[in-house]
Amino acid sequence: MKKTLLLGFVALGATAFAATASSLKVNIFQDSTVEGKTLKAGDYRISLDNGNAVIKQGKQSIEVPAREETEANKFVRTALIYQADGKNLKEIDVEGTHTKIIFEGAASTQPGL
C-alpha cells in the first residue's frame, strides 16, 4: 500500500511539472552557454521533451540533453545554477515545485540563439 501511495505521489509530481513545463518562463540575466550553445540574456520558455530541454525565445529554439530531478523541499524561487566559470548553465530550480532541470550530455559547438 505504501509503495503504491509513494508511486502515486511521484507520478503526480511529474504530472504537475509537465503541466507547468510548457509555461515555464525563465529570465536569463546574462549571456550563458548550455551544452555548448549560446543563449543571449533575455526571456525564455523551457519545456522537457523526450530527454531534451527545449529552450525557446520567440520563434527560435534549441534542444539540449536534460533530465528532471525531484528534491524533498519545494523551491521558493526559480534559480539558475552555473558551473564555476559563471557562464555554463548546469541547472534550473523551478519555483513552487520540487523539480529541477539538469542539463547534461556531450558539449556541442553549434551556435545558439
Rounded to two decimals, the pTM is 0.69
Is 64 within 8 Å of 103 (Cβ atoms)?
yes
Q: Assign 105 a pLDDT band (cuts: 50, 70, 90).
A: low
Rounded distance between C-alpha atoms, residue 31 and residue 41, angstroms? 5
At position 22, the amino acid (one-letter code) is S
Average pLDDT over residues 109-113: 48
The 10s digit of each residue's pLDDT in 39-57 is: 999 999 999 888 899 999 9
Is 80 within 8 Å of 26 (Cβ atoms)?
yes
Rounded distance between C-alpha atoms, residue 113 and residue 17, angstroms? 25
pLDDT surpasses 70 at 110: no
CA dihedral of 27, 91, 104, 108, whole degrees rounded to 10: 40
